[in-house]
Amino acid sequence: MISRSPHWGEDRVIYRAADGTLPTIAAAMTDMEQPDAFRRVAAGRAAFRTADLLALLTLLDRISALVEAEDA
C-alpha cells in the first residue's frame, strides 16, 4: 500500500501493482477496513448493499436519459 485517501468521493487505497503502476481500489473492498454493519449482519448472504444498489439505479437512470436524449 502506498497511501489511503479520498478519491472520487470515497475512501480509496493506492497501491503499487506488479507492473509499477499506482492503481486505486475502494478501501471498503480491502481487508483494511472493518466491515460495515450491513456486511456483519448479512454474514456473506447478500452480494450488494441496498445503498450501493440505489446508487447504481441512479447511475443507470442518468445513462438512460443521456441515451434517450441522443436518440431524439
Residue ranges of domains in the chain: 1-33, 45-72
Q: What is the pLDDT of residue 72?
A: 66
Give dist(CA 63, CA 57) in Å, integer: 10
- Label the pairing between strands 3-7 and 24-26: unpaired
Per residue in 10-45, is it b (16+ CB within 10 Å) or e — as a string?
eebbeeeeeeeeeebeebbeeeeeeeeeeeeeeeee
First to last CA, the chain: 47
Q: What is the pLDDT of residue 59?
A: 96
Q: Which residues of the chain have pLDDT under 50?
A: none
Placement of cell 475502494 in the chain: 26
